[in-house]
Amino acid sequence: MMKVIVNVFLKAGVLDSQGKAVHHALESLHFNNVSDVRIGKQIVLNLDESDETKAMADVTKMCEELLANTVIEDYNIELVK
Amino acid sequence: MKVTILQFPGTNCEYDTQYAFEKLGAKTEILWHKSQSVPSDTDLLVVAGGFSYGDYLRSGAIAKFSPVMKAVAKYANSGGKVLGICNGFQVLTEAGLLPGALKRNESLHFISKHHHLKVIDNDNIFLEELSNGDVVNIPIAHHDGNYYIDQDGLKELYENNQVLLKYCDEDGDIKNPNGSIDAIAGICNRERNVFGLMPHPERAMEKILGSDDGLKMLQGFLKA
């Protein structure tokens, strides 16, 4: 059993309207030291798998086929033991 | 003329679409997403609007794996005519049958109102009844209508005359409701047989309901 965390974000260069709106809200609360906000989604998977290489390969395929739309999104994968 | 209209769990524009095409004189059939094939007498396949699979994960992301989508791809790749409206456009981009993607509206708001559209390219069966520069008034109703494509892709769209419709004001000057790149509202594929747009021509069939400009937009398909 392995826990895998996938983070999906809009690509750099693709406008993140939610991030921008939250950034403005933080500024209006006088948090003036925030230079950028990006909002993404986190997908947590429990895999019946012990082979880390296989898990990484499988989850990469999941991201490419479904979990991310690579036209507009980037993803990263974290294996948690 | 036979129009087949796809229905996924969460589709909600299939009956409006059916009404629109029947008003134009077509025969119609609503096809449930579990079907493994497209009826052989289909002249036009419409992926109707709505919220397929509740827009879970991303709009259109789950629908692209429905059983019928393999048949849709086969139908499109063999030259069959396909029209995606709103969620249907999102499904077709997710399925890779149209380039680009649809992001959350720049304002983050769901937008539901009539909006003017300008015809950019009528050299295709969809818009051949209209002239370039014509302005039509068509409802939009979407949360994820912000069309995005990278710069290389955009250049390619223009080079191949795939940009069909842009958002504008009533005088035809570009006006962008949702942040779409270059205010693009509708495109087609390179082969000019797969079409997608966010606005709803099927909701503009009666003057008493605000506009019947949808008649002009959809009747091109009937002649083909």
For the segment B34-78, what is each residue's pLDDT rounded down to a tens digit? 999 999 999 999 999 999 999 999 999 999 999 999 999 999 999
Amino acid identity at B210: G
Q: Which of B13, B86, B168, B188 is catalytic?
A: B86
Of A10, A15, A69, which is closest to B61 when you measure between CB atoms? Answer: A69
Name the residue ranges covered by the structural domains of chain B.
2-223
How far does CA B89 lie from the centroid of its chain? 5
- Residues, chain B: 224
Does 3.30.590.20 match the CATH number of domain B2-223?
no
Note the ipTM here: 0.86
For the segment B117-160, what is each residue's pLDDT rounded down to a tens digit? 999 999 999 999 999 999 999 999 999 999 999 999 999 999 99
Q: How far apart are CA B49 and CA A61, in angstroms?
A: 29
**Domains of chain A, each with CATH number or no CATH:** 2-80 (3.30.1280.10)
3-state secondary structure of B111: strand
Rounded-to-10 torsion of CA B182, A69, B196, B36: 170
All residues of chain B having their beta carbon less than 8 Å from the beta carbon of residue A21 are: 108
Q: How far apart are CA B113 and CA B220, in angstroms?
A: 24
User: Do strands B194-197 and B81-85 pair parallel, antiparallel, or not at all (unpaired)?
Assistant: parallel
The arithmetic mean of pLDDT across residues A9-37, rounded, is 95
Model pTM? 0.94
Nearest to B98 by CA among B157, B33, B29: B157
Q: What's the token pair of residue B171? A: 């005088």
Q: Which of B33, B116, B142, B200 is catalytic?
A: B200
> Is B202 an active-site residue?
yes
